[in-house]
Amino acid sequence: MKYNAKVVDNFMPAEMWQEFKTYIKQELNNGGWRHAHNDYQELDILNLGAGQKLAVGTEANFKLEKNDDMFYKPLSAEWKDKIVQFMIDKKYWTRKPKEGSTFHLHVLWPLTSTKYHLDQDAAATFYINEDWDYNWGGQLIWKHINDTVGEYLEIRPNRIIFLKNDVEHNVTTTAMEADKRLTIQMFFDAEIYNPDLFTEAGVVQ
């Protein structure tokens, strides 16, 4: 049987994971962040607490009136190359993704639940938070091939989910008190997947 999603726990080996977390900590303290819905402007997210956002075009913090804050910045070329090669070495991918594929460090907090939607490309989400409270929400839900609601994915550190480009999915509402939800979002051509990746259901340890 074929499936349209695959979850892998302990994605990075321990040493690589520690190096990656150091890199993420540095990136959170650097500039270059962009608001997902106001891409023309770089924003400073460093001093924002739970339930706050930066007013677009100002330097003021204020309480959220609408939960729609998503920020991103490109993954460094060094780490993009490391992850791509790791995908190939582990036989998740058969080759490098085509030019134009995106690898972004993604920060989300608070957000209202998205509608079920399809991405144009295949996608992978890599979770970074080490202390995510289940009650904060922010979990991914995706539909199985038979169009029924499928898995409800708990956020765990060093966990990745691979999705084909025909998978309807959404993200549940994140609570106002939630920490910043940290992920790497990858979008790429579905043809690079190793077909064997989707021959088993469930989580691969």
Reading the block at residue 17, the tokens are 């994971």
CA atoms 193, 116, 149, 183: torsion sign: positive
SS3 of 41, please? strand
What SS3 class is residue 108?
Answer: strand
Q: What is the pTM of this model?
A: 0.80
CA angle 201, 204, 205 (to 5 degrees): 155
Contact 122, 163 (CB under 8 A): yes
From first to last of its 205 residues, the chain has per-residue pLDDT tens of 567 788 899 999 999 999 999 999 888 877 777 766 554 344 444 444 444 444 433 333 333 333 456 778 889 999 999 999 999 999 999 999 998 888 988 877 656 556 666 666 788 999 999 999 988 888 888 776 555 556 678 899 999 999 887 777 788 878 777 888 899 999 999 899 998 888 765 544 3
Locate 178 and state its tokens: 């939630």
